[in-house]
A and B are shown apart, each in its own frame.
Chain A
């Protein structure tokens, strides 16, 4: 394996970690498979695109605003809709979030049209150990990892973060200790949407995107989450980097479609043989 493949994999992996960390947190804390996650990512990408087109805002600068907007959207959706069925069986919650996803998807197709878009920044290239990488990708990856690390710090250090971790460990005990569980659920879902929006605005400078790609990103989130283990930030980082490396290696060795297949096969194997993910049952950071 050459340096180029390795670096490509790491850059991709950093972005995958950011895509999946919110999905993983929602799954781990609320016990909900959030089918909306892919659409949140695409929505973030579109907001970045239109902020750039309308105000000339650099996507890295509009990112905090987009993330805040998505946090609000996620909070409202959880508080108003999902909270009513949050403890139902997986079939119900999955079908509900899928229904919501169809509504959001339809709204995006109508509002933004189905034309694929791309935010081309072209910040130049850099040579590392004989490999060439575009700078915008590296910057997006660095920001993605920084955001993931920030989420880790929030969960670890802040009062709300401790409450989220407490709810994940034992909902009933947390409620008895005075944590308002519905509030924590809504904040967690908001954080999930916020990370998706941030990841989306970073993706907009790396890949072309369209509303039809929501399923693709959702699939990546599934895989990363299962590889790394549920609800854990370090797990999402490890899972994301692992998936990025698997895809870039399989892509270089066999072919691009086989690379996507490899991700799913690794995920299925882990589901069956080690469902707690590579990092075991950790996640109580």
Chain B
């Protein structure tokens, strides 16, 4: 996959360079940049998490927000019960892993459209449960989380580093899965599940493993988000928009590799910032137009474009039309 941007080492070098900038950011950037960087890491973790089940295994999962919200609520409730913040996050990750391991074998029996609808239903059910058990979760009133002491600059740094750590862990796990047995098995499942089963891939175990990995990173990101914003409510964390945005980001970059989701997140967030600042009233519509363009003109994602060719034409002064043609191909 990374061959498209010129070799494995280039991709890894860029990622390491970005990580170095993110680490230095609290000392050189303002609060707006730190906040943006934290969101970048948050969505990177979610996109890499979704990629295990949606990219490698090819299951159209829309359960991202279910794990994210569950992680947020478990983390927040643990913190409110007096658990130290980092332990609460780990607890949330563990809780999501157990949830996914319990749900996976049943839900992953469904295929195609039925799986997509089933996974959306999980988000809706979780949101309703969070509203109904108001004694426990605060219901529609939401749930407050203790604010981290030490001032906004310190808190910004802590949450940026925490999100970065989760995103980095998701990235390293992806690299390991990509090169290992699990990644191979998941790719087999994506291409032909019955054939993979016949040839001795334990499809249920592999799919559940991908689902659990997906849940862990989404849950960790959700728990850190809850501590960061210090207030969550059911519609905020169990959001259908979030659950659909994450796959769109991955598709934008290219699914089923370690670099595609990252490219997609960066490209999507850059566009979103641009849209937010220029078309506040129209941002839903403009996002919709971007999705339509993405589906029509970038079916394999940004990384699948033949960049050397496009750049070559750019240098040779090629006109915009031939570029668009190359993009469409």
Contacts and interface: CB of A to CB of B under 8 A. Distances in A.
Nearest to A93: B295
A219 interface: yes
Interface in B102-132: 106-107, 109-110, 112-114, 116-118, 120-122, 124-125, 128-129, 131-132
B128 A272 contact: no
A6 B197 CA distance: 48
A277 to B, nearest CB: 11
Interface in A76-95: 81, 84-85, 89-92, 94-95
Contact of B287 (A102, A264, A271): A102
Interface string A81-122: 100110001111011101111110111011000000000000
Contact of B291 (A89, A99, A265): A99
Nearest to A99: B291
B251 interface: yes
A283 interface: no
A207 interface: no
B282 interface: yes
Interface in B158-183: none
A184 B103 CA distance: 39
Given A215-B240, A264-B128, A275-B110, A92 B299 contact: yes
Contacts of B23: none
B85 interface: no
Contacts of A222: 117, 120-121
Contacts of A257: 128, 131-132
Contacts of B244: 95, 98
A279 B232 CA distance: 41
Contact of B288 (A92, A101, A110, A272): A101
The A interface is mostly helix, strand or loop, or mixed, namely helix
A102 B247 contact: no
Contact of B295 (A92, A101, A105, A109): A92
Interface in A120-166: none
Nearest to B285: A106
B116 A94 contact: yes
B117 A91 contact: no
A138 B276 CA distance: 45
A99 B287 contact: yes
A95 B284 contact: no
Given A90-B116, A91-B247, A258-B132, A268 B121 contact: yes
B60 A94 contact: yes
A261 interface: yes
B291 A96 contact: yes
Nearest to B112: A90
Nearest to A91: B60
B30 interface: no
A271 B288 contact: no
A229 B295 CA distance: 29
A260 interface: yes
Contact of A95 (B58, B121, B295): B295
8 contacts: A33-B113, A92-B295, A94-B60, A95-B247, A95-B248, A95-B294, A99-B295, A271-B121
The 4 A-B residue pairs with the shortest CB-CB distance, nearest first, are A99-B291, A102-B288, A106-B285, A103-B288
Interface of B: 54, 58, 60, 106-107, 109-110, 112-114, 116-118, 120-122, 124-125, 128-129, 131-132, 240, 244, 247-248, 251, 281-285, 287-292, 294-296, 299
